[in-house]
Structure 1
């Protein structure tokens, strides 16, 4: 298929989404005429402050937060994750002193914002406990309870009177295979041990119902560009009563917890995009999920030695994500061939020092055979995906898989 294949189908929406017209319209006043700094006290500043408060309130409503002040604006999901990781550890040390063992519990399939943040904390003396997942990508509640119980028993034996961990952080929905965790149950288990619970909801917000209070979490991260908002803006929800030290100091913005003049245009755009996404969320998710299911079945029917990764199609899988492993097929090559054929997709692997390593998510699912693990690919469908788009995908993707296998066999 020629490189100019049209129409080009963007099936990498889990990476980023196009800015919605509603978000752009909401942003424009704050990129032009309403340019004030919300921290000031004159009229121009007050207009900006009012707009920032409105954006905060709209996001709080969409997330089921108790009050607008539960929402703290950040630069995105990675900052929100980093803030809560470091903040929870410092909070624990401040509360329980140097004698208490500091632990963070997370899962093996988290986004690198969490995993690399945990690596940094580990180098600083924090014990990181990685929970396994099953072959579909789910954390077993029993594994979390066991990890916290064992840590609590070790502390008791050492004469330490403190919760067994500073934080449990488990993502709501996985960005690679779409597994949606039972966060409400996991958070309840953490709270049995007086441990706060954070969920990285970056892939979930705007795509499935997310109610922070119903989930029972103490902290929740989100990022605007995942649901047709602008890049460079995100938020951290903090439950009332759960406070953490600031990550960035120097000013009184975000109630003294996140210094720096606020990105007002970004906040307004994110609020508009989220309100738009939540307005028709359930019928849109059902539409996308139905076409995702047709695409998954079509690929499995058309291609030999291709397996679905993550959960079977259900409410426990993100509506847009179809992910596979293809035997004897290099994923980076496949994605390049797909691009030339008019399809944007993502490889489930990362290139490092000249060698392609299998995705940590795929490895955690128990796919160890390199002939399978190196062939992971993810398609994340657009909100407005059509049956015609799926027909084109089912024409182009199998052809690219066959070609990638042929080229891979010649290496």
Structure 2
């Protein structure tokens, strides 16, 4: 199968797997120890966790601290459900935030910032941001890849006494994270790390309420035993991402050129100028995307967010761009990255284009 669904998850890096294995060992080794234990094996596991914490932090702005979570969904929910205790002035977020941020904002009566046809929020001076509250803004959208002006919004939020929460899941490890956010959510499995581990970066000086109470792990803010294996895999993936960021970016740019040339008759959803180019969301008149997925079973691609693909609803992101029902139903998301070869990409796109044209010919 050809894999073009990098926004949903990325293949595990060999370096991450290697880093995890010592902490998945059985009774013949000490690698299974609890990192909160005070004996030698526990201290060794604790050291592994702290080394990984340092590696994860190197891809984030200075002046903050990392708290490991089960993933970015938990990190976003943590901020948007407990954060109003320290920032009670209200919630706001873009209309194309991930559902992990959008649902907490909407259920608490927050406001949504509209986006234009390119999927970009307006300049912050054109938006009424909450005073003394929390503003959520993704760095890179998970469905259409658009890059938002996070630094400018952070400055505007601070001018109103508010905090800026950045969902950096799709940008972390792929580009520099802008300075300015107060809280940043990230996830390991989007950068070739393991699933089930993410983190919340909290700027120094912010006293976020605890998420889970109990043993006082994660600096007293998230109780529960930390997995040294998952954390070590996250750290290794972050180290590789830091070393390969320029190489990976150049590779993705080449793949983008190949893909857009082969899909010249398709329309790109979202900005092409302000965009992470490993995300290509496109539509074609006369194509039914659901049927296309059924027709092209040898290619893994998606209709949008993997988290909402089973809901039966059309993408809230594409609707926010102003696309019609017909246009949203004709849209697919293609994601590629480090381990995608040009040959694989061409072969996969060839199958998609061929199947799409068959649909169009039958409908003619």
In the other structure, the counterpart of 1:181 is: 148
CA distance in 2, matches of 1:206, 1:246: 27
CA distance in 2, matches of 1:290, 1:381: 11
CA distance in 2, matches of 1:243, 1:129: 24
In the other structure, the counterpart of 2:81 is: 86
In the other structure, the counterpart of 1:119 is: 106
In the other structure, the counterpart of 1:25 is: 18
In the other structure, the counterpart of 2:342 is: 387
Match of 2:86, SS?
helix
**From 83, 105, 111, the counterpart of 1:129:** 111
Residues 11-160 of structure 1 mapped to structure 2, 5 A cutoff = 11-32=4-25, 33=29, 34-66=31-63, 70-93=65-88, 102-120=89-107, 122=108, 127-142=109-124, 146-148=127-129
Structure 2 stretches lacking a partner, 5+ long: none
CA distance in 2, matches of 1:357, 1:40: 47
Conservation of the 8 A alpha-carbon contact between 1:331 and 1:374: yes
Match of 2:87, SS?
helix
In the other structure, the counterpart of 2:215 is: 251
In the other structure, the counterpart of 2:259 is: 295
In the other structure, the counterpart of 1:215 is: 179
Q: 1:29 to 1:394 in 2, by over 3 A?
A: closer
CA distance in 2, matches of 1:320, 1:351: 20
Q: 1:310 to 1:64 in 2, by over 3 A?
A: same
CA distance in 2, matches of 1:111, 1:290: 28
Conservation of the 8 A alpha-carbon contact between 1:329 and 1:371: no
Conservation of the 8 A alpha-carbon contact between 1:107 and 1:133: yes
Aligned-pair CA distance for 1:76: 0.3
In the other structure, the counterpart of 1:169 is: 136
CA distance in 1, matches of 2:116, 2:203: 30
Aligned-pair CA distance for 1:60: 1.2
Q: Which has the larger radius of gyration?
A: 1
**From 291, 308, 311, the counterpart of 2:268:** 308
CA distance in 2, matches of 1:61, 1:391: 35
CA distance in 2, matches of 1:29, 1:274: 18
Deviations 1:288-347 (A, max 9, x none): 1122122113212xx4xx3111111x4x211311111222322221122222xx211101
CA distance in 2, matches of 1:39, 1:168: 35
The answer as to 2:318 corresponding to 1:362 is yes
In the other structure, the counterpart of 1:323 is: 281
CA distance in 2, matches of 1:330, 1:246: 46
> Which one has the bigger helix percentage?
1
In the other structure, the counterpart of 1:335 is: 293
Deviations 1:164-205 (A, max 9, x none): 242000100001110011211111111111100010011111
TM-score (norm 1): 0.83
Aligned-pair CA distance for 1:64: 3.2
Aligned length: 358
Match of 1:265, SS?
helix
Conservation of the 8 A alpha-carbon contact between 2:124 and 2:152: no
In the other structure, the counterpart of 2:326 is: 371
In the other structure, the counterpart of 2:358 is: 403
Structure 1 stretches lacking a partner, 5+ long: 1-7, 94-101, 152-163
CA distance in 2, matches of 1:61, 1:348: 30
The runs of at least 4 consecutive aligned structure 1 residues that moved more than 6 Å come to none
TM-score (norm 2): 0.93
Conservation of the 8 A alpha-carbon contact between 1:108 and 1:132: yes
CA distance in 1, matches of 2:184, 2:351: 38
In the other structure, the counterpart of 1:282 is: 246
Conservation of the 8 A alpha-carbon contact between 2:289 and 2:332: yes
CA distance in 2, matches of 1:274, 1:91: 31
CA distance in 1, matches of 2:171, 2:70: 18
